[in-house]
Structure 1
Amino acid sequence: MRMKRIDTINVIPFIDIMLVLLVMVLTTATFIRTGLIPVDLPEAKGTAAEHKPSEMKLTIKKDGTLWVDEKTQVSLAEFEKRVSEGGKNMTVVLYSDKEAAFQNFVGVMDVLKRLGHEQLYIVTDKQK
């Protein structure tokens, strides 16, 4: 009796195990990293925002200054220009210090409303 020679390796069980491990890693990993600019975020009971490829990170510091993508300080007019150039599909992720004046937040919201921009996420810390 002759034995059948095995020329291939069945990788389907290996792929199944790797997918289970991938799901475990993704569910335990944190995706949102607070920015390099120190901001004391307000608290909320909601979940954290998802980051999308075409996004603009806007940070409102305690002193009221606006920062885009954690490296460029901008005025409200420059922010409006960048949002209009980015289009309505661009996501704006807002990091606002809880001690910042509410007027700064209202100014940003006014710009977004005027441009008809609806893709906005507001990042908060989870309540303890």
Structure 2
Amino acid sequence: MKRMDQINVIPFIDIMLVLLAIVLTTATFISEGRLEIRLPEAASESQPNTPPKVEIAIDADGALYLDAVPLSLGELGLRLDSLPRESPITLRVDAATRFDRFIAVVDQLKARQLERLTILTRQS
């Protein structure tokens, strides 16, 4: 029979890792000390100053649309000049569109420092 000279710490480490996982999982459900505050009422309600949402679409033929209105690349640039830099922009591009058309639109956005860009895709 083999003599036990050392303590086996592997089960102890396993238990500690399970306890750590439990603590980390339950810690995300703990309330973060949110205060119950009843806001006062006002006669006029002020809306936050949110920039307009813009959608740019490029179809399979390379035609550009700004909020469903067909435009040329030059007209798109003129319309983008009037947008605030914080404007959220959604870009929808047909899969059959030539890549250079996509790059031309992105260059127009970069030139005007419009960087809040979302490119829509579909999950395969």
Smaller-chain TM-score bracket: 0.5 to 0.7
Are residue 67 (structure 1) and residue 81 (structure 2) matched?
no
Gaps of 5+ in 1: 1-51
> Greater share of strand residues, 1 or 2?
1
CA distance in 2, matches of 1:87, 1:77: 18
Task: Note the 1:106-121 alignment, pairs <5 A.
Answer: 106-121=103-118
The number of residue pairs the alignment matches comes to 75
| CA radius of gyration, larger in | 2
Q: Which runs of 5+ in 2 are unaligned?
A: 1-49
- Local SS of the residue matching 1:94: strand
Runs of 4+ in 1 over 4 A off after TM superposition: none
Which residue pairs with 1:122 in the alignment? Answer: 119
Per-residue Cα deviation, 1:102-123 (whole angstroms, up to 9, x for no partner): 0110000111111111111000
CA distance in 1, matches of 2:61, 2:54: 20
1:21-53 deviations in Å (ceiling 9; x for gaps): xxxxxxxxxxxxxxxxxxxxxxxxxxxxxxx86
- When normalised by structure 2's length, the TM-score is 0.57
Q: Deviations over 1:62-101 (max 9, x none)?
A: 000001112x100111111111101111111000001000
Report the RMSD for the aligned CA atoms in angstroms: 1.5
